[in-house]
Structure 1
């Protein structure tokens, strides 16, 4: 039996919750979700029902590489990179060339940036199915 999945949320351990919330709201445009609960957790909506949970904690043993990243698709990649560059955020292609948009093997374009804790984020224009 094949199940139909969709993203609900993903959670990231962060070193400074306030700094991370500022990045995800000011740079990526996510919206905080009002909720009661732990002071060291923030939820933000990405769009629709998709959310990110930021959890402040001991970040000391976290090991990050570009291979371990999450990806978000966007309708207008060119406008996005123009916007973040104007905000002073550096972006890269996969090999690490600064200010370059790369091309995935499946033909979609992508750019990578890092959040304040060093998590790699791929932003791409993958807006149609490549396989069923």
Structure 2
């Protein structure tokens, strides 16, 4: 594939993520009451059970699993797993709310050039991981070519040094 720069597909933003659920109703409850998304109209021409939610400029499309009993479910919270991340205004408020809701989470801290980034990771009802962070304090520095490849090794070393603390609730 020919390497191109800029915006070859003329992308504008993330529109939605789509998640297969064991129970659409349970997932609606989670995304609405824990993360603050709200249900929106879904096209009536779909011939399968699901729901659309919207918030923070993105949509979440929930799709009912055809065989919920055979849906793989992750139980270990691993910050290096697939996840969606949300910025927050107060990490302390988020952590307090997760404890009140009795949601188990993992706390992680990343430091880069004197900037500390706090992260909290937890699962939705089907084991899909959510991250809440204050990552906006970390500068976005574009990389290209050989510089990007060499930095990946440096990033790997830094990830191995990051502090991870799991909070398990009764």
Global fold match (TM > 0.5): yes
The 1-side partners of 2:13 and 2:91 are apart by 22
- Residue matched to 2:135: 126
Moved more, 19-28 or 65-74: 65-74
| 1:86, distance to aligned residue in structure 2 (A) | 1.2
Counterparts of 1:78-97 in structure 2 under 5 Å? 78-93=92-107
| 1:34, distance to aligned residue in structure 2 (A) | 2.2
| 1:14, distance to aligned residue in structure 2 (A) | 0.6
For the structure 1 residues 5 and 104, does the alpha-carbon distance in structure 2 shift closer, same or farther, using more than 3 Å as the test? Answer: farther
Counterparts of 1:8-47 in structure 2 under 5 Å? 8-37=15-44, 38=46, 40-47=49-56
Residue 111 of structure 1 contacts residue 124 of structure 1 at CA under 8 Å; is this kept in 2?
Answer: yes
- Residue matched to 2:118: 109
Q: Structure 1: 5+ residue runs without aligned partners? A: 94-101
| 1:42, distance to aligned residue in structure 2 (A) | 0.9
TM-score by length of 2: 0.63
1:70 aligns with 2:74: no
The 1-side partners of 2:88 and 2:12 are apart by 20
3-state DSSP of counterpart to 2:106: coil
| 1:13, distance to aligned residue in structure 2 (A) | 0.6
The 2-side partners of 1:105 and 1:52 are apart by 31
Residue 70 of structure 1 contacts residue 122 of structure 1 at CA under 8 Å; is this kept in 2?
Answer: yes
Q: Structure 2: 5+ residue runs without aligned partners? A: 143-170
**Deviations 1:105-131 (CA, angstroms, capped at 9, x unpaired):** 543110011111111111111124432
- Residue matched to 2:164: none
Residues matched between the structures, number: 123
3-state DSSP of counterpart to 1:123: strand
